[in-house]
Amino acid sequence: MNRVFNFSPGPATLPIEALEVAKNEFLDYKGLGMSVFEMSHRSKDYEAILEDTKALLKKQLGIPDNYHILFLGGGASTQFALIPMNFLSADQTADYINTGAWSKKAISEAKLFGKVNVAGSSEEGKFTFIPSQNELKLSPDAVYVHMTSNNTIFGTQFPYWPDPHGKPLICDMSSDILSRKIDVSKFAMIYAGAQKNIGPAGVTVIIMNPDFAAKQKSGLPKILSYSTHIKENSLYNTPPAYNIYMIKLVLQWVDQIGGLAEVEKRNKTKKDMLYGAIDNSGGYYKGTVRPDSRSGMNATMRLGSEELEEKFVKAAKAAGMIGLKGHRSVGGIRVSMYNALPVAGIEKLVGFMADFKKKN
């Protein structure tokens, strides 16, 4: 089997170990004579998959016992609308920290339901840094504070967790969930599209403090109310059943390799290796973000010209490395190094970068 090193920003590479289990169980899940694809989401067998997935996530992230865990369809972009729909009224204010394209979209949706205070922004600096705590201008009456922990397009990541001054902190962790240890109890809500670090596209993970959940507005359509999905254990309607099963397999892999401590160690190795290659290239490869805000998940860089960048991407693909083209809105090169990308992938890329520099 000839597998490429996949540096795509999402959907992204998955652990080969998880894919092998999925392959082996695809036609006949644990002797049931059917695939998880065919299984009733109301069956005891599927209920066991769902509960196992929740238990594994709880273990790896250290989620408090009373927190709600949901697996919903629609992607993180759906949560951009559901959060203010459920928690923000027309006469209320929510604080948003604007650090990139995804936080801007979340802000746009929130403005449909209430007042938005942009408590901090790096937009004037072309999203090349993360605002410091001292730069945040939080509202005294905010009903929540929203942040995006990692910014896939621009290559920045929060190096600290903001102090929300006693207000509920909501975090979009779509692109760095499970990449490092966190204190979940600091957050009122965490949500993450699965397709970067935790599973395939099509399911969103939601972790919510019950005290915050209790503040939801009433009178919403059932399907759009978090309380419905909490009450029905993510089974109000048919869930993305197979995607949840795949999350279980990814979480099993995380557990087997040593948990988040080992994941974080590997990610630091990859980050240090790649940025070291960029910084030591004599300016041939130019990082695009401030060093203190560099992402451990998505590294962005430029070469001397767009033509050279196109040549780099094409040559890398020929060498078995795909997904390195920067986002269409910013161009350049983007290296996504999520959990499932092995250290060997960065080693190969760094070697390729040195060779490409010599030849070009």
Q: Report which of 299, 289, 294, 346 is spatially closest to residue 326, judged by C-alpha positions.
A: 299
The answer to whether 102 is a known catalytic residue is: yes
- What are the phi and psi torsion angles at 247 (to 5°)? -60, -40
DSSP assignment letter at 168: P
CB 180 within 8 A of CB 264: yes
Q: Whole-angstrom distance between the N-terminal and C-terminal Cα of the chain?
A: 32
Cβ burial of 187 (10 Å; 0-12, 13-18, 19+) is buried
DSSP secondary structure string, 178-205? Answer: TSS---GGG-SEEEEESTTTTS-TT-EE
Q: Which of 95, 167, 172, 325 is catalytic?
A: 172
Structure tokens at 156: 């920045």
The answer to whether 172 is a known catalytic residue is: yes
Q: Which of 102, 167, 176, 248 is catalytic?
A: 102
Distances (CA, A) of 94 to 81, 120, 184: 13, 12, 21
**What is the distance of C-alpha 78 from the center of its chain?**
14
Q: How far apart are CA 92 and CA 314, in angstroms?
A: 50
Q: Which of 54, 167, 196, 248 is catalytic?
A: 196
Structure tokens at 308: 């050279």
CB 331 within 8 A of CB 254: no
Q: Report which of 308, 253, 301 is spatially closest to residue 279, judged by C-alpha positions.
A: 301
Q: Which amino acid makes up residue 208?
A: M
Structure tokens at 54: 């929740």
> Is residue 11 reached through a cis peptide bond, with omega within 30 degrees of 0 on the bond before it?
yes
Residues 6+ apart with CB under 8 A from 139: 93, 95, 117, 119
Question: Per this entry, what is the length of the chain?
Answer: 360
Give 224's strand partners: none
The catalytic residue positions are 102, 172, 196
